[in-house]
Chains A and B, each alone.
Chain A
Amino acid sequence: QKEVEQNSGPLSVPEGAIASLNCTYSDRVSQSFFWYRQYSGKSPELIMSIYSNGDKEDGRFTAQLNKASQYVSLLIRDSQPSDSATYLCAVGAGGTSYGKLTFGQGTILTVHP
């Protein structure tokens, strides 16, 4: 079983729609959760972080965390072609793990006009 698993892509949505990206993780003691966006040929860029159960909103992005289900998701509202990228879910163990992040395999999102 993969430690961090993302919904298989690629995901294609029309402009203006909601894009839903999902991630499950296996380590119950995980404490921090991140979504990174990576454009082709570029480095990962942090777009959302979440640490407690519930929703966290930042502009068009909403991260949702359910620790009991070991599930974290990212919703992108009013999707734009500029949102087309690979989205990486990352899970941090916290504590004395020195910030070690485990990444999922990524989901490619394409937003078409």
Chain B
Amino acid sequence: DTAVSQTPKYLVTQMGNDKSIKCEQNLGHDTMYWYKQDSKKFLKIMFSYNNKELIINETVPNRFSPKSPDKAHLNLHINSLELGDSAVYFCASRDGSPLDTQYFGPGTRLTVL
């Protein structure tokens, strides 16, 4: 069974469009994250939710809006897509133990044309 899943795996779209990425985890974790990995492989946290509550909100354009309908799901909606939004977006969840281990989903490769 897939622990952290994301849809879609690939997303190609035009500048100015609005798109969403979905994430689901079946690990029973309370905390979920969105990361962005740029073309140089630099992985940077964007948001985190703990049991549906936003707890981390890094300096991200407000065109990006996360939503957590329940603790197993964390979605990312992006308005007015720009070329610079092209990246791989990873969802992750955390087991809440002192070990702080985070488990990553397979990623969504977003290409903005």
Binding site for B on A (CB under 8 A): 32, 34, 38, 42-46, 49, 51, 86, 88, 92, 94, 98-103, 105-106
Contact = CB atoms under 8 A, between A and B. Distances in A.
Contacts of A100: 45, 48, 56
B105 A43 contact: yes
A49 B101 contact: yes
A45 B44 CA distance: 16
B90 A105 contact: no
Contacts of B99: 32, 49, 51
A100 B34 CA distance: 11
B94 interface: yes
Contacts of A34: 100-101
- Chain B at the A interface: mostly helix, strand, loop or mixed? strand
B12 interface: no
Interface of B: 31, 33, 40-45, 48, 50, 55-56, 90, 94, 96, 98-107
The 9 lowest CB-CB distance pairs between A and B, nearest first, are: A43-B104, A103-B43, A99-B94, A99-B100, A106-B41, A98-B55, A92-B100, A32-B100, A44-B104
B42 A105 contact: yes
A101 B58 CA distance: 12
B104 A98 contact: no
- Chain A at the B interface: mostly helix, strand, loop or mixed? strand
Contacts of B90: 43-44
B40 A46 contact: no
Contacts of B106: 42-43
A44 B43 contact: yes
Contacts of A94: 100
A77 B54 CA distance: 41
A51 B96 CA distance: 15
Given A42-B107, A49-B101, A105-B41, 6 more contacts: A43-B104, A43-B107, A88-B41, A88-B43, A99-B100, A101-B45
B23 to A, nearest CB: 12
Contact of A98 (B40, B44, B48, B105): B48
A105 B37 CA distance: 10
Nearest to A43: B104
